[in-house]
Amino acid sequence: MKKLYYDAKKCTACKTCEIVCAIGHSPSKDLYTAILEDNAALPSVRVYAGQDENYPMACRHCKDHPCVSACIASALRYDPKEGLLFDKEKCVGCWMCIMVCPYGAVRPDFRDSKSVRCDLCADIKDPRCAKNCPTKAIIYVEEKAINV
Amino acid sequence: MAENKFYGDSATREMRQVAEDLGIQTVWDRELLQQPHCGFGLLGICCKNCNMGPCRIDPFNPNGPKLGVCGADADVIAARNLLRHITAGSACHNDHGRELTKAFKLAAQGKAPGYQITDESKLKVLAQEYGVKVEGRSLQDIAVDLADRIFAEYGQQEGELVLIQRAPKKTKEMWRKLGIMPRGIDREVVEALARTNMGVDNDYRSLMRHGMRVALSDGWGGSMIATELTDILFRSPRPLDSRANLGVLKYDQVNILVHGHVPVLSDMIAQAASDPELIKLAKAKGASGITVAGVCCTALEVLIRRGVPVAGNFLQQELALITGVVEMLIVDLQCVMPSLPNIAGNFHTKVISTSPRAHFPGSEYVEFKEEQGYEIAKKLIRAAIENYPNRNQEKIHIPKAVETLVSGFTTEYIFEMLGGKTLSTYKPLNDGVAMGRIRGVVGVVGCDNPKMQSGETHIKLIKELLKNDVLVVQTGCAATACGKEGLLTPETAFKYCGKGLQEICEAVGCPPILHMGPCVDNSRILTACCEIVGAGGLGVGLDELPVAGVAPEWMSEKAIAIGWYFVASGALVVFGQPYPVYGSKNMTNYVTKEVEELTGGKWAFEIDPLKMAKIIIEHLDSKRKTLNLKPMMYQ
């Protein structure tokens, strides 16, 4: 399965990933109109500041996925080929997934009490954060291509 | 893979392929590499004015930062950024005016032998406006006094500018009431930088009011001074024929390109190129002659006065070098891409920079001094001729594309055009508007931009405007875009215009698109609007006129400054892509709505050329309705 990987050394914290993520998940998919939408999407990727490096962070689509076990509403499911699948309709906003995520990669949206997580841009099957990262700090490659 | 919205004329398409084959990176390639452009930058909500930041306002997260470290919100940050853009743009035009004043004074003192006062009557009119005594004095004395008065206006601290007094009374009263009447030229620019420092002006409305004052000091100050003095020094333009596009470069001639904005240099090069001694030298080197052609606005300075052909507009500057037949590129300042010396390095082309304000690593620097203007011009042309035999014959590709055009319409010439020499008047134009033959007058101006469908935006918009009986006036690279498509000819009236506009063009004998010169000559559009108000019947303030301005492919800060002096003067101004302001709802509301209650002008942003035309036409119609003009005759 292809996954998102981050090279913290290359991240300049420009937050382009956050912006393109929010635009891509907003109804209009256009910067100038997305910011005016009442239901504009929250970015599911966020850039965190480390000691000396910046970390872009979104759902890791872990093989070992504590969020799935913790979800009381069965809104989360794991598929070995597609990663973590989220049924937003079922989410009741208990925030258990947020509590158990080892990466802090899930965030709450208090407007509709639903969690926000990366879907790897399922609509275009090509994550926008990786596609638009100006320094290529975010890459989208097969898991086996990465030496971990 | 990202893509440009590239369209381009045939020569541009052809040369882009040549560039690709030669492995030379151009503006379109770099634009691709820059995608995506930063969303914070596009929205105008990043601030790096102090070292507590840089700060950014989060446009999406309700819990993200909504204030910079200092406490500035999106409104203040966007307003401060925009004011700095306006200021940089105005500073360019104002400095351009200063350069002309310097050359004008040196010419008047007899210290710059290559330059003369060629338009005596214009000199006298301007001198009287500045309160310089004219009767019984020599032209030189008048000119020296006038130059000193203009220099003093740059440093003036109080009072009002001289040329802004040309505006209708109602418009001036509006500026005084709003407190945006410029007090001096340099003063407003300096104050803008002071206001935008951290912790000074923290009210977006106040910042924008000063923005208008800066812009007015440009349009009715620096730019207008530049236009007037250029006319006095290098002759006032009258319509003439010329040609545009890369096809003006000649295989068997020494090709010299002038690029930049200030005609003090380019006009001298154009003059010196006809020196018999130099033509003889060119022939001795195997060339059949010397071709001087221009790029960008300095091209239009020598086009409207000397008929020097235009090699291309802003986006074509690199492509011109890639033809491989340019012996020398002589640049001064503004809109000169830093990439040029590198590209020239692939060919025999020499790049000469000339302005102490504008240095280009990789170019040869020959400082241009008015005192030795003609000698320096001759020296440069001689070096270009010497370079002719160095061409690499395997790297030559000149596109055939070239179109004829008519250019050189000024506020003063329109009098003559409409009324004849005996009865100088704007009345026929006003009557045409009032009777419903002409819907209104629209300036289609500005740059070309790789982020837009370059060229096509202008063409589609203008054809739509002409179809709806809108008389078009043009300046700058937008004008060159239309020239390259053959639209700047009288025949356009029969091909694309509505019946009403066609009748006017036939009766007056003018093309439906009037090319008024480079972008600094947008000041001519201001004075022409004053004459329209003066001729009567269309209201008493500039804000009442059925007019608009549009810069479909703007890219320069200068375009923002120009747009703002038109909005502050009461006009609708439409830009293609928005300038960075959408990150603040209040600022967006201010520039697109609220400002109209103050000046009568406002901004609109629209990328699609047909929708742009619709916005403009609806605006003209609403102004016509307010003025109670007759319905359009052939609707």
What is the per-residue pLDDT for B3? 63
* Residue A148 located in a structural domain: no
Nearest-CA residue of chain B relative to A116? B61
Same-domain pairing of B467 and B573? yes
Same-domain pairing of B616 and B533? yes
Nearest CA-CA distance, residue A65 and chain B, Å: 26
Three-state SS string over B365-413 comes to: ECCCCHHHHHHHHHHHHHHHHHHHHHCCHHHCCCCCCCEEEEECCCHHH
> Quick check: A36 and B56 CB within 8 A?
no
Chain A positions in Cβ-Cβ contact with residue B38 (cut-off 8 Å)? 14, 16, 19
* Residue A29 located in a structural domain: yes
Compute the average pLDDT of residues B386-402.
97
Same-domain pairing of A54 and A99? no
Of A14, A16, A43, nearest to B60 by CB-CB distance is A43
For B194-252, how does the pLDDT look when each residue is reduced to its tens digit (9 = 90+)?
A: 999 999 999 999 999 999 999 999 999 999 999 999 999 999 999 999 999 999 999 99
* Cβ neighbours of A63 (radius 10 Å): 10
Same-domain pairing of A6 and A23? yes
Same-domain pairing of A44 and A27? yes
Least reliable range by pLDDT among B5-9, B535-539, B569-573:
B5-9
pLDDT exceeds cutoff 90 at B289: yes
* Cβ neighbours of B359 (radius 10 Å): 10
DSSP string, B271-301: HHTT-HHHHHHHHHTT-S-EEEEEEHHHHHH
Beta partners for residue A83, in sequence order: A79
Nearest CA-CA distance, residue A31 and chain B, Å: 7
Same-domain pairing of A81 and A134? no
What is the per-residue pLDDT for B4? 64
> Quick check: A16 and B39 CB within 8 A?
yes
Average pLDDT in chain B: 95
Confidence of residue B5 (pLDDT cuts 50, 70, 90): low
> Is A64 part of the contact surface with chain B (CB cutoff 8 Å)?
no
Of A32, A35, A43, nearest to B578 by CB-CB distance is A32
Same-domain pairing of B228 and B300? no
Query: Mutating which of A12, A30, A35 best tests the B interface, going by the most B Cβ atoms within 10 A?
Result: A35
Chain B positions in Cβ-Cβ contact with residue A134 (cut-off 8 Å)? 36
Query: Mutating which of B60, B66, B591 best tests the A interface, going by the most A Cβ atoms within 10 A?
Result: B60
Chain A positions in Cβ-Cβ contact with residue B40 (cut-off 8 Å)? 15, 19
Same-domain pairing of B230 and B146? yes
- What CATH number should be reported for the domain holding residue B304? 3.40.50.2030
Confidence of residue A147 (pLDDT cuts 50, 70, 90): low
Chain B positions in Cβ-Cβ contact with residue A18 (cut-off 8 Å)? 60
Query: Mutating which of A15, A29, A30, A128 best tests the B interface, going by the most B Cβ atoms within 10 A?
Result: A15
For B122-175, how does the pLDDT look when each residue is reduced to its tens digit (9 = 90+)?
A: 999 999 999 999 999 999 999 999 999 999 999 999 999 999 999 999 999 999
Same-domain pairing of B414 and B328? no
- What CATH number should be reported for the domain holding residue B131? 1.20.1270.30
For B41-53, how does the pLDDT look when each residue is reduced to its tens digit (9 = 90+)?
A: 999 999 999 999 9
> Is A27 part of the contact surface with chain B (CB cutoff 8 Å)?
no
Nearest-CA residue of chain A relative to B43? A32
What is the per-residue pLDDT for B8? 80
What is the per-residue pLDDT for B607? 94
* Residue B319 located in a structural domain: yes
Same-domain pairing of B387 and B433? no
Same-domain pairing of A44 and A67? no
Could you tell me if B548 and B571 are in contact, meaning their C-beta atoms sit under 8 angstroms apart?
yes
Nearest-CA residue of chain A relative to B59? A35
pLDDT more than 90, % of chain B: 93
> Is A132 part of the contact surface with chain B (CB cutoff 8 Å)?
yes
Q: What is d(CA A101, CA A106) in angstroms, rounded to the nearest whole number?
A: 7
What is the per-residue pLDDT for B231? 97
Query: Mutating which of A31, A107, A109 best tests the B interface, going by the most B Cβ atoms within 10 A?
Result: A31
* Residue A146 located in a structural domain: no
What is the per-residue pLDDT for B453? 81
- Domain containing B202 equals 74-234
> Is A19 part of the contact surface with chain B (CB cutoff 8 Å)?
yes
Q: Which of A38-42, A110-114, B385-389 has the highest mean pLDDT?
A: B385-389
Compute the average pLDDT of residues B341-348.
98
> Quick check: A35 and B62 CB within 8 A?
no
The amino acid present at B482, given as its one-letter code, is: C
Same-domain pairing of B469 and B324? no
Nearest CA-CA distance, residue A16 and chain B, Å: 6
Chain A positions in Cβ-Cβ contact with residue B583 (cut-off 8 Å)? 35
pLDDT exceeds cutoff 70 at A132: yes
For B566-622, how does the pLDDT look when each residue is reduced to its tens digit (9 = 90+)?
A: 999 999 999 999 999 999 999 999 999 999 999 999 999 999 999 999 999 999 999
For B24-40, how does the pLDDT look when each residue is reduced to its tens digit (9 = 90+)?
A: 999 999 998 888 888 89
pLDDT exceeds cutoff 80 at B7: no
Confidence of residue B1 (pLDDT cuts 50, 70, 90): very low
Q: Which residue has the higher pLDDT, B348 or B415?
A: B348
Model's pTM, two decimal places? 0.93
Same-domain pairing of A54 and A67? no
Pick the closest to residue B513 from B521, B504, B270 (CA basis).
B504
What is the per-residue pLDDT for B491? 94
Which of B234, B261, B294 finishes a domain? Answer: B234
> Is A18 part of the contact surface with chain B (CB cutoff 8 Å)?
yes
Total structural domains in chain B?
A: 3
- Domain containing A68 equals 61-117
Same-domain pairing of B522 and B435? yes
Nearest-CA residue of chain A relative to B61? A42
> Quick check: B56 and A15 CB within 8 A?
yes
> Is A40 part of the contact surface with chain B (CB cutoff 8 Å)?
yes
> Quick check: A111 and B583 CB within 8 A?
no
What is the per-residue pLDDT for B61? 77
Same-domain pairing of B445 and B553? yes
Which of B395, B420, B444 finishes a domain? Answer: B395
Chain B positions in Cβ-Cβ contact with residue A19 (cut-off 8 Å)? 38-40, 59-60
Tokens of B190: 């300096």
* Residue B583 located in a structural domain: yes
> Quick check: B43 and A35 CB within 8 A?
yes
Could you tell me if B191 and B180 are in contact, meaning their C-beta atoms sit under 8 angstroms apart?
no
For A80-95, how does the pLDDT look when each residue is reduced to its tens digit (9 = 90+)?
A: 989 999 999 999 999 9
What is the per-residue pLDDT for A36? 87
> Quick check: B578 and A42 CB within 8 A?
no
Tokens of B441: 């007058």
- What CATH number should be reported for the domain holding residue A83? 3.30.70.20
> Is A111 part of the contact surface with chain B (CB cutoff 8 Å)?
yes
Same-domain pairing of B425 and B458? yes
Compute the average pLDDT of residues A27-56.
88
| Cα angle for residues B444, B446, B450 (degrees, 5° grid) | 120
Same-domain pairing of B209 and B253? no
Compute the average pLDDT of residues B374-384.
97
What is the per-residue pLDDT for A148? 55
Same-domain pairing of A44 and A91? no
Chain A positions in Cβ-Cβ contact with residue B43 (cut-off 8 Å)? 31-32, 35
Pick the closest to residue B125 from B224, B228, B230 (CA basis).
B228
Total structural domains in chain A?
A: 2
What is the per-residue pLDDT for B423? 73
Nearest CA-CA distance, residue B59 and chain A, Å: 6
* Cβ neighbours of A60 (radius 10 Å): 18
Pick the closest to residue B372 from B111, B99, B144 (CA basis).
B111
Spatial neighbors of B257 by CB under 8 A, at least 6 apart, are B292, B293, B294, B295, B311, B320, B326, B328, B329, B330
* Residue B204 located in a structural domain: yes
The amino acid present at B66, given as its one-letter code, is: K
